[in-house]
Amino acid sequence: MNNLIGIDQKKATELSAKLNQLLADYQVFYQNLRGLHWNIQGKEFFELHLKFEELYNDAVIKVDEIAERILTLGGEPLHTFTDYLKASNIAEEKSITNGTEGISIVVKNFSIIILFEREILSLAGDANDEGTVSLMSDYISQTEKTLWMLNSYLQ
């Protein structure tokens, strides 16, 4: 049986669950980025303050896109921090003021996210879900470039 957009209902339900986990990852990641933006100190304050803002602005867009994709598939997006913390693979970070430590956290968080995005991409391909495939492909391309740049910063 197919859902409204022509995807097998069982596969759509599985994809919605995975996307909810990704949504939770991005929500916790977003909050980590806000904390880094607010609390960063040191000689690289101006550079990193702006970079963290750029990253959290991108994350908040992805949060909305992921939630809307879940709805498109017929699911219900998680929307409480209790649920986000239960589902997320991303750990909360607190009181980070060191720039190198902050960038290392972002790299670690993105590394977790990109692996999960690849898993969702594979499931979406198997379900002939072009909408989710396209979304994950875009996210993976962006994340790969961002990881390369952040890792270069750490060298």
How many Cβ atoms from other residues are within 10 Å of residue 38's Cβ?
Answer: 11
Sign of CA dihedral 34, 40, 46, 51: negative
The greatest distance separating any two alpha carbons of the chain, rounded to the nearest whole angstrom, comes to: 59
Which CATH code for domain 9-154? 1.20.1260.10
In the prediction, which pLDDT does 84 show? Answer: 98
Q: How does the average pLDDT of the chain come out, rounded?
A: 97
Average pLDDT of 43-53?
97
Specify the pTM.
0.96
Average pLDDT of 53-60?
98
Average pLDDT of 46-74?
98
For 88, the 3-state DSSP assignment is coil
Give the single-character DSSP code of 89.
Answer: S
Name the band, by pLDDT with cuts 50, 70 and 90, for residue 147.
very high
Tens digit of each residue's pLDDT (9 = 90 or more) over 87-141: 999 999 999 999 999 999 999 999 999 999 999 999 999 999 999 999 999 999 9
